[in-house]
C-alpha cells in the first residue's frame, strides 16, 4: 500500500518537517581563527661557537633554544653596544644594541639559562673593575690633592693684604676651576637589573653611554609602567634604543649629558606580562612596543628529558673566553667602530627591505604590526652587526659585513617577525578567544554530541579554567560562532533544589574535525 492509498484524513496532525523530527538545522559554523605554529629559533644563523653554546644550554636545561638564542643576541649587544654602528646606506646608521623579550610560563628554568649565558659578562665586568682600579685610585688622589691646593689658595687669598688679594684670588679661582674639571671614573658596570629610568640615565652618564638590563623577570616593565613614579616613564628607554641624545637636568644634581646612549634589554617574562605591557599608557603610541624583538616559544614542561646531555665544558669555556674577549676589546672605545656592508650584503638587505615595504600597506600582511615592521629592517642591520662581530672576534671592526652574514640576519628577522605578529595579535585579541579554542579542542577530542556545562568543566584542566564560571565567555563565543547551541531546559517539577546544569549540543562537524 502506498501513501496515495491512505485516506487523507489519516494524515491530519502529521504535517511534520525535518526540523520537527531532527531538531533545528545547523548553519555552517564560523571558524575560530587558530594561531599558526611559530617557527623555532634559527640556531644555525649564529656563528659556530655561539650556536654550540645555545644548543648545549637548551639541552641541559631542557628549555626551548629560543630562550638561550635570544639571550645570546642580547649578551653580544651588551659587549658591543655603544661601541659599534652599522653603516647601512648613505647617512643611515644603526647601533647594535637591541631589546629582546622571551615569553615563557613559570617553571621553564629561565634563571638557569640566564646564569649560563650572562656569567661571562659578569666576569668581564669584574676584570674591568680590577683593571680600572689603579686609574681610579690615581684620579681620586689627584682630585683630593687639587682640592686641598684650591682650599689652601682660597684661604691664603682671604687672609692676604689688599694689594696681594687680587692675584691670590685669581690663583685660587683657577685652582678651583681645575678641580671642577677633574673627575674620578665610575666603577665599570655592564649589566643592571632592578633600575629606575632615572638610574638608567645616571648609569649611561657614568658608563660611557651604554648599559644593559638583563633579567629573568619582567620587573622592568613594572618600573616603566610607573611602579615608583606612579606614571609611565619610558623616555630613557625610547632614546636608549634609538641613540638619541640624552640631557637631564635635575635640581640639586649635576647635569647628565649623553650624546649617543645605547641601552640593551634582554628579558624573559611570563606571557601575561606582554599583555600588561600593551596596557601601559603610551607604550604603543610612543613606540616602546615596536622596539622589542619578541619570542613566544612552546614550553617543554611536561615533556622534558629528565636525563639530558650535559653542557660540554669546552663549549662553555670557549663561549666565556670569546664573549669576555670581545667585551674587553671594545670597552675602551669612545668613538664607535663603523661597520660597512659589502655590495653583496647591501643587495641582500635591499631585497629584504622590498619585502617589508610591499607588506606594510593597509592590505598587507604586516598592516597589524606596521609600527613594529617599520623597524624590522633596522633590527636586521643591527643583528647583522652582532653576527659579524661574533664571527670576527679579533678584527671585525676592520672588516665589512658580508652577504652570508646579512642573509643569516634576515633569517632571524623573519623569525622575530612571525613571533611579533603572534604577540600583537594576542595583545588585541578577545580574551575569550583562546579559551574558546581550548574548549573546542576538548570537544573534538571527546567526540561528544551533547554535554552539560558541569560535564565539560570536569573534562578541562583547572589551570585553564579554575572555576566553572570561567567557561561562560568561551561557551558564549562558541555559540555565537555556531559550534554549539544550548538545549532548552526541561520543565521544572516544582520540587525546588538546584537547577540543572545547562546542556549543549555540538555541531555535527565537531566529532570529525573543527
d(CA 170, CA 149): 14
Q: Contact 117/53 with Cβ under 8 angstroms?
A: yes
pLDDT score at 21? 47
Task: Please give the pLDDT value at position 160.
Answer: 83
Residue 20, pLDDT above cutoff 80: no
Q: What is the mean pLDDT of residues 229-234?
A: 74
Lowest mean pLDDT among 49-58, 68-77, 102-111: 102-111
Distance in angstroms (rounded) separating the CA atoms of residues 465 and 475: 12
Neighbours of 324 (CB within 10 A): 21
pLDDT value of residue 494: 59
For the cut 60, the answer to whether the pLDDT of residue 158 exceeds it is yes
User: Percent of the chain having pLDDT more than 90?
Assistant: 54
Nine cell digits for residue 274? 606582554
The pLDDT value given to residue 61: 97
DSSP state of 274: H
Name residue, grid cell 622592568. Answer: 220
> At residue 15, does pLDDT exceed 60?
no
Most confident of 42-56, 255-269, 462-476: 42-56
What would the grid cell of residue 345 be? 650584503
Q: How far apart are CA 425 and CA 427, in angstroms?
A: 5
For 62-207, where are the alpha helices, taking DSSP H only? 65-80, 110-158, 162-181, 197-206
Query: DSSP letters of 169-230?
Result: HHHHHHHHHHHHH---PPPP--EE-S--HHHHHHHHHHTTTEEEEEESS-HHHHHHHTTTTS
pLDDT at residue 94, rounded to an integer: 97
Which residues, 6+ apart, have CB-to-CB distance to 235 below 8 Å?
Answer: 197
pLDDT at residue 178 above 80? yes
The C-alpha angle with vertex 499 and arms to 497 and 504, in degrees rounded to 5, equals: 155
**Residue 3's pLDDT is what?**
42
pTM: predicted TM-score of the whole model, two decimal places: 0.81
What is the pLDDT averaged over residues 195-213? 87
CB-count exposure of residue 346 (10 Å: 0-12, 13-18, 19+): middle
Assess whether pLDDT exceeds 50 at residue 217: yes
Query: What is the pLDDT, as a whole number, of residue 432?
Result: 81
Average per-residue pLDDT for the chain? 87
Range of weakest confidence among 125-134, 314-323, 403-412, 428-437: 428-437
Of 181 and 353, which is predicted with more confidence?
A: 353
Instruction: List the single range of 91-95, 157-161, 325-329 with lowest mean pLDDT.
Output: 157-161
Mean pLDDT of 427-439: 80
Question: Residue 23: what pLDDT?
Answer: 58
Band of residue 249 on the pLDDT scale cut at 50, 70, 90: low
- At 344, is the pLDDT very low, low, confident or very high (cuts 50, 70, 90)? very high
Residues 99, 111: Cα–Cα separation, whole Å: 18
pLDDT at 189 over 70: yes
DSSP single-letter state for residue 93: E
- Helix or strand holding residue 84 (H, E): strand 84-89
Mean pLDDT of 144-161: 87
* Helix, strand, coil abundance in the chain, percent, nearest 5: 55, 10, 35
327-338 pLDDT per residue, tens: 999 998 888 999
For the chain, report the end-to-end CA distance as a whole number of angstroms: 45
3-state secondary structure of 312: coil
Cα 324 to Cα 228: distance, rounded to the nearest angstrom: 34
> Which pLDDT score, from 0 to 100, does residue 325 have?
95
Mean pLDDT of 308-322: 97
Residue of higher predicted confidence among 172 and 316: 316
Q: What phi and psi values does residue 274 have, to the nearest 5 degrees?
A: -65, -40
Q: What is the pLDDT of residue 241?
A: 93
Residue 297 and residue 225: Cα distance in Å, rounded? 25
Q: Is 339 helix (H, G, I), strand (E, B) or coil?
A: strand
Distance set, CA 373 to CA 127, 356, 380, 488 (Å): 39, 7, 11, 49
Which three cell numbers mark 500?
540543572
Taking alpha carbons only, the member of 78, 130, 126, 123 closest to residue 99 is 78
- Residue 221 is predicted with a pLDDT of 80
Asked if residues 280 and 227 have their Cβ atoms less than 8 Å apart, the reply is no
Query: 360 pLDDT exceeds 70?
Result: yes
Cβ partners under 8 Å of residue 316, min gap 6: 53, 56, 116
Task: Specify the DSSP class assigned to residue 453.
Answer: H
pLDDT at 514: 43
**Burial class (CB within 10 angstroms; exposed 0-12, middle 13-18, buried 19+) of 376:** buried
pLDDT band for position 276 (cuts 50, 70, 90): confident
Query: Does residue 220 have a pLDDT over 80?
Result: yes
C-alpha closest to that of 478 among 446, 444, 432, 512: 432
The pLDDT, as a whole number, for residue 6 is 42
Cβ density class 179-202: b for 16+ within 10 Å, e for less = beeeeeeeebebbbeebbbbebbb
pLDDT at 485: 92
Amino acid at each position: 500500500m502506498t501513501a496515495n492509498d491512505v485516506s487523507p484524513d489519516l494524515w491530519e496532525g502529521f504535517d511534520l518537517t525535518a526540523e520537527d523530527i531532527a531538531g533545528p538545522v545547523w548553519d555552517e559554523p564560523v571558524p575560530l581563527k587558530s594561531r599558526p605554529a611559530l617557527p623555532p629559533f634559527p640556531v644555525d644563523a649564529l656563528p659556530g661557537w655561539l650556536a654550540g653554546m645555545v644548543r648545549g644550554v637548551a639541552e641541559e636545561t631542557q628549555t626551548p633554544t629560543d630562550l638561550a638564542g635570544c639571550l645570546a643576541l642580547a649578551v653580544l649587544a651588551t659587549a658591543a653596544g655603544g661601541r659599534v654602528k652599522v653603516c647601512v646606506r648613505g647617512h643611515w646608521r644603526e647601533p647594535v644594541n637591541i631589546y629582546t623579550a622571551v615569553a615563557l610560563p613559570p617553571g621553564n628554568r629561565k634563571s638557569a639559562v640566564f646564569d649560563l649565558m650572562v656569567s661571562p659578562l659578569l666576569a668581564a665586568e669584574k676584570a674591568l673593575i680590577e683593571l680600572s682600579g689603579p686609574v681610579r685610585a690615581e684620579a681620586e688622589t689627584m682630585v683630593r690633592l687639587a682640592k686641598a691646593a684650591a682650599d689652601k689658595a682660597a684661604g691664603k687669598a682671604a687672609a692676604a693684604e689688599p694689594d696681594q688679594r687680587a692675584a691670590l684670588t685669581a690663583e685660587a679661582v683657577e685652582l678651583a676651576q681645575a678641580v671642577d674639571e677633574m673627575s674620578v671614573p665610575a666603577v665599570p658596570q655592564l649589566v643592571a637589573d632592578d633600575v629606575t629610568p632615572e638610574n638608567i640615565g645616571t648609569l649611561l652618564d657614568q658608563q660611557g653611554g651604554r648599559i644593559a638590563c638583563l633579567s629573568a623577570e619582567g620587573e622592568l616593565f613594572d618600573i616603566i609602567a610607573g611602579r615608583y613614579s606612579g606614571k609611565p616613564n619610558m623616555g630613557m628607554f625610547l632614546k636608549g634604543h634609538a641613540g638619541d641624545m640624552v640631557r637631564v637636568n635635575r635640581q640639586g644634581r649635576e647635569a647628565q649629558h649623553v650624546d649617543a646612549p645605547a641601552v640593551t634589554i634582554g628579558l624573559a617574562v611570563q606571557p601575561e606580562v606582554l599583555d600588561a605591557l600593551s596596557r601601559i599608557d603610551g607604550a604603543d603610541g610612543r613606540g616602546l612596543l615596536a622596539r622589542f624583538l619578541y619570542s613566544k616559544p612552546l614550553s617543554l614542561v611536561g615533556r622534558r628529558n629528565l636525563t639530558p646531555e650535559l653542557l660540554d665544558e669546552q663549549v662553555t669555556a670557549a663561549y666565556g673566553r670569546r664573549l669576555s674577549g670581545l667585551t674587553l676589546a671594545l670597552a675602551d672605545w669612545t668613538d664607535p667602530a663603523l661597520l660597512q656592508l659589502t655590495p653583496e650584503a647591501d643587495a641582500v638587505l635591499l631585497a629584504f627591505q622590498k619585502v617589508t615595504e610591499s607588506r606594510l600597506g593597509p592590505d598587507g600582511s604586516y598592516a597589524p604590526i606596521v609600527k613594529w615592521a617599520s623597524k624590522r629592517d633596522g633590527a636586521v642591520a643591527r643583528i647583522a652587526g652582532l653576527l659579524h662581530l661574533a664571527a670576527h672576534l679579533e678584527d671585525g671592526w676592520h672588516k665589512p659585513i658580508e652577504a652570508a652574514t646579512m642573509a643569516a640576519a634576515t633569517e632571524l628577522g623573519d623569525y622575530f617577525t612571525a613571533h611579533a605578529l603572534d604577540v600583537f595579535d594576542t595583545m588585541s585579541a578577545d580574551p575569550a578567544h583562546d579559551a574558546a579554542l581550548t574548549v573546542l579542542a576538548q570537544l573534538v577530542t571527546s567526540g561528544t554530541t551533547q554535554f552539560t556545562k558541569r560535564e565539560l568543566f570536569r573534562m578541562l584542566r583547572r589551570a585553564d579554567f579554575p572555576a566553572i564560571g570561567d567557561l561562560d565567555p568561551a561557551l558564549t563565543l562558541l555559540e555565537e560562532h555556531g559550534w554549539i547551541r544550548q538545549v532548552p531546559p526541561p520543565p521544572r517539577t516544582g520540587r525546588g533544589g538546584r537547577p540543572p546544569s545547562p546542556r549543549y549540543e555540538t555541531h555535527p562537524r565537531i566529532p570529525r574535525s573543527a
